Structure 1
Amino acid sequence: MRAYHTSAKPPFIIIDLVNLQSIHIKVDDETAWVQSGATLGELYYSIAKKSGIHGFPAGICPSVGIGGHFSGGGFGTMVRKYGLAADNVIDACLVDVNGSILDRETMGEDLFWAIRGGGGASFGVIVSWKIKLVRVPPVVSVFNIDKKLDQRTTELVHRWQYVAQQLHKDLFIRLVIQDVNEVTKGQKKTLQVSFNSLFLGTADELLSLMHNRFPELGLQAETCTEMSWIESVLYFAGYPRGQSLDVLLNRTVQYKNGVRASNRHIHWMRMLYSYMKQYVSHSPRAAYLNYRDLDLGTNQQANTSNLKAKVWGKKYFKGNFKV
């Protein structure tokens, strides 16, 4: 625990919950209690050790902490069928500013609603969460299709925007746009679009669905891979097929490429922001809590007050931010 003194009284503290990582799975009633310091990988590992037909709809990065992920919403590959991670939280243990230990009943529905998407650090210390496990089939299917700039990519992305929301809720297709730094015929082509998918069913069912609803993508049988749900977790995390589940317990996150590459990527993102400005929130510009936008403003290390924090706070919390 570390204390940070500001101009406001009393000083505030930051509590590190990293050692609160207990997970208790109850397959009989399809629930689990998981402490805020556990990671998504540890939760997925614990579920897989208990059941082959249960999962949880949360993110794809195993090293992400439960507390921040759940309290910020929690997007994942089963979001279309089961919603956010926060939608599947059914109780919580919270310590309020007075030191009282509260559950869903004693904290009230307003506070319980707020901690499932509004950021847990704003309302108290959330020690643990009770979640509802979801049913997954014994076999799921995945595919990844990469498209370069000269492969009708723009048309496919445009088509995906209209089709994806109308597909069966068992099918999730996301786009990943990345710099591949490829040189062809003397010209540098930097962008690649990957259509990345999870389907809660067999490859045959997936092929039939895609050929009927999104034939433009050209999905073929050899592109689809059947696996268990827990193997799909490893797949989306970037681990090779056959990797031990123990990798989900690794809390180490490695960052590559250094400052120059980071600055280049930040510049690219700001160019995208500029291009998209006419389509997103304005007056004021706003942001999703779990993806902080430093251009909106930050606290200073000293002399921070609620009044100063209001500059950026309303952009994350809108009318829920109180001075």
Structure 2
Amino acid sequence: FVHPLDEIDVQSAVKCAIKLNFPITARSGGHSSEGYGLGDKDCYLVVDLRTLNQITVNITSQTAVVGTGNTLGSLYKELQQYIFAFPAGVNPSVGVGGHMLGGGLGLLNRRFGTSSDNILDAQIVLANGTVVYNSKKYPELFWAIRGAGNAGYGIITYLTIKIYPIQKI
């Protein structure tokens, strides 16, 4: 297991895995029913993203930049301080990375769409170790992460998401 502190650590882990010819996998919260966050029976390098747990909320633009190591509970707790919400699942211990990239179903989906519908941008460490963060420069990659699930295009370290103000009743 590797516990990166930032995208540079993830980049180093990817480059190391390439050099040593190790398969590599990312773990956001570890809730994969298929066990993807544990690798396989072969020796995998697991990049455990739980240390990438920063959240930056911008109430003016109604967006948040979320480290993929956060849980849904930590995201909801942070958004609650600003009286904002995000359409995602109900289990607070699920990792946001796997949940959002897997579609992200939850109680607010009818009103705001799925979690993946609300991803505006992503920082990705590609399989060759390059770090990219620009949905406009890489539209095919951005399209894929918003609908193709956790298909292994790279390791996503941060997501920029659309958040919604909670209306008074």
Aligned-residue offset at 1:21 = 0.5
1:20 aligns with 2:52: yes
The reply on whether 1:40 has 2:72 as its aligned counterpart is: yes
Instruction: Looking at secondary structure, tell me which structure has more helix per residue.
Output: 1
Distance 1:132 1:95 in 2: 22
Deviation at 1:97, TM superposition (A): 1.4
Larger radius of gyration, structure 1 or 2?
1
> Per-residue deviation at 1:77?
0.7
- The correspondence of residues 199-210 of structure 1 with structure 2, limited to 5 A, is none
The structure 2 residue matched to 1:11, chosen from 22, 26, 36, is: 22
Question: How many residues are treated as equivalent by the alignment?
Answer: 132
CA positional deviation for 1:68: 0.1
1:57 matched residue in structure 2:
87
Is the contact made by 1:92 and 1:126 (CA closer than 8 Å) also made in structure 2? yes
SS at match of 2:80: helix
Runs of 4+ aligned structure 1 residues displaced above 4 Å come to: none
Q: Report matched runs for 1:66-85 at 5 Å.
A: 66-85=96-115
Note the residue ranges of structure 1 that are not aligned, 5 or more in a row: 4-8, 140-323
Once the 2 structures are TM-superposed, how far is the Cα of residue 98 of structure 1 from its aligned partner?
1.7
Pairing partner for 2:142 from 95, 112, 131: 112
Supply the distance in 2 between the matched residues of 1:96 and 1:28 (Cα, whole angstroms).
Answer: 31
Q: C-alpha distance in 2, partners of 1:31/1:118?
A: 23
TM-score by length of 1: 0.39
Q: Deviations over 1:31-84 (max 9, x none)?
A: 1000000001101110111x22x2111111111101000110101111111110
Q: Which amino acid aligns with 2:112?
A: Y
Partner of residue 125, structure 1: 155
What's the C-alpha RMSD, in Å, of the aligned pairs? 1.9
TM-score normalised over the length of structure 2: 0.72
Structure 1 residue 121: Cα displacement = 5.4
> What amino acid is aligned across from residue 125 of structure 2 in structure 1?
V
